[in-house]
Amino acid sequence: MEKTLYLHENKTLKVIRDGPSVLVKEEGKADRRVPARMIRRVVIAGNIKLDTGLITMFTDNNVPVTMFDKSGNRIAVVLPCNRHLPEYYKEQKIFLESEYTIKRFMTFLRAHRYEIQINVLKRLLKKHMPDAYITVGLKEDDYRQVIENAVSARRDKFQQIHSIVSALFMEMIVSKLIPSGLDPHIGVMHRRRDLGLALDICHALGPEADIQSIQFLRSEKECVHHDCKEISAEDMKAIAVRFENRKESLVFVVEHIIDGIYELIRELKLSGECSI
């Protein structure tokens, strides 16, 4: 089973490399050892004492490491350094060849986002969801208004939590793009941006980040910490648990989107519309 390693700032916490395992040492608690082969993502919040060999071990195994500050802002992503271009780098550039191919990719992306939006609204609105969202079509403005109504006066806290959840989504997406052979930096919607393709896919999954953030705000446990500008260890744990509970289904969606990107590349090449 794939695991995400979550580490929150703690003065007595130290994480070191111990052969093929990660050793977590914390004052007053028994040492915890996690086999490195089981870790597929690493999330660090705040200042943690890390063995530099540990970071090397993660990058050698194509495991991305995401770092947050105490307020929940993503400050860095550590990725493996590859001297060679990804396997499908040239084929992937087909999406940027013309207005037609850009439009095809954007239509593909919007279709996935729309499907996820409908599923999210069903969970959020339940029996109160207008039938027109399905029979006539859901406009982006209508969707944004539903989310705006759901967060209302707690918009600032929503944005803070949403930033963390989106970063967890990004790390999950990157961890799937790296072994796929696609270049995570060649985006279409987010062209010329670091991790552009990962950002494109994250946009499609955006509604899932919305509902996870809203559910966190509505939880009784979160209300204890809502006035604090910093993200507490309890908050991070609650966010992580909610994400992990949905991770299996989210990974399935990401894999489906990646498969769809391959299919779209083949379709565009065979259509004769492109020169690649």
The per-residue pLDDT of the chain, averaged, comes to 86
Cα–Cα distance measured from residue 226 to residue 231, given in angstroms and rounded to the nearest whole number: 9
Do both 125 and 260 map to the same domain?
yes
Going by pLDDT thresholds of 50, 70 and 90, the confidence category of residue 258 is very high
pLDDT at residue 250 in the model = 94
37: three-class secondary structure by DSSP: helix
Range of the domain at 28: 3-78
Structure tokens at 156: 């600032």
Spatial CA neighbour of 265 closest among 157, 200, 182, 205? 182
92-142 pLDDT per residue, tens: 999 999 999 999 999 999 999 999 999 999 999 988 888 988 888 899 999
Residue 251 lies in a domain: yes
Please tell me the pTM assigned to this model. Answer: 0.82
Q: Which of 35-49, 186-200, 248-262 shows the lowest per-residue confidence on average (mean pLDDT)?
A: 35-49
Structure tokens at 127: 């029996």
Residue 133 lies in a domain: yes
In eight-state DSSP terms, residue 252 is H
Do both 104 and 16 map to the same domain?
no
Do both 65 and 105 map to the same domain?
no
Going by pLDDT thresholds of 50, 70 and 90, the confidence category of residue 222 is very low
Residue 163 lies in a domain: yes
Q: Which of the listed residues 32, 51, 78 is the one where a domain comes to its end?
A: 78
**Which domain CATH number covers 252?**
1.20.120
Going by pLDDT thresholds of 50, 70 and 90, the confidence category of residue 224 is very low
| Mean pLDDT confidence for 169-195 | 92
pLDDT at residue 113 in the model = 96
- What phi, psi does 208 have (nearest 5°)? -70, -40
Do both 60 and 192 map to the same domain?
no
Q: Which of the listed residues 11, 45, 78 is the one where a domain comes to its end?
A: 78
Do both 137 and 215 map to the same domain?
yes
Q: Which of the listed residues 30, 56, 78 is the one where a domain comes to its end?
A: 78
The answer to whether residue 143 scores a pLDDT higher than 60 is yes
Residue 276 lies in a domain: no
The answer to whether residue 54 scores a pLDDT higher than 60 is yes
Residue 83 lies in a domain: no
Q: Which H or E run includes 34?
A: strand 32-35
Taking only Cα atoms into account, the Rg of the chain, rounded to an integer number of angstroms, comes to: 20
Do both 58 and 177 map to the same domain?
no
Residue 174 lies in a domain: yes
Do both 28 and 114 map to the same domain?
no
Do both 114 and 151 map to the same domain?
yes
Contact between 196 and 187 under an 8 Å Cβ cutoff? The reply is yes
Total domains, the chain: 2
Do both 213 and 192 map to the same domain?
yes
Do both 94 and 27 map to the same domain?
no
Contact between 79 and 174 under an 8 Å Cβ cutoff? The reply is yes
Spatial CA neighbour of 145 closest among 171, 125, 174? 125
The answer to whether residue 202 scores a pLDDT higher than 50 is yes
Q: Which H or E run includes 177?
A: helix 155-177
Residue 200 lies in a domain: yes
Do both 129 and 63 map to the same domain?
no
pLDDT at residue 136 in the model = 87
Location of structure tokens 């894999």: 255
83: three-class secondary structure by DSSP: coil
Residue 201 lies in a domain: yes
Spatial CA neighbour of 167 closest among 43, 252, 250? 43
Strand order in the sheet with 65-68: 3-8, 39-45, 65-68, 74-78
Task: Name the residue type at position 241.
Answer: V
**Which domain CATH number covers 58?**
3.100.10.20
Going by pLDDT thresholds of 50, 70 and 90, the confidence category of residue 19 is confident
Contact between 13 and 7 under an 8 Å Cβ cutoff? The reply is yes
Do both 113 and 191 map to the same domain?
yes
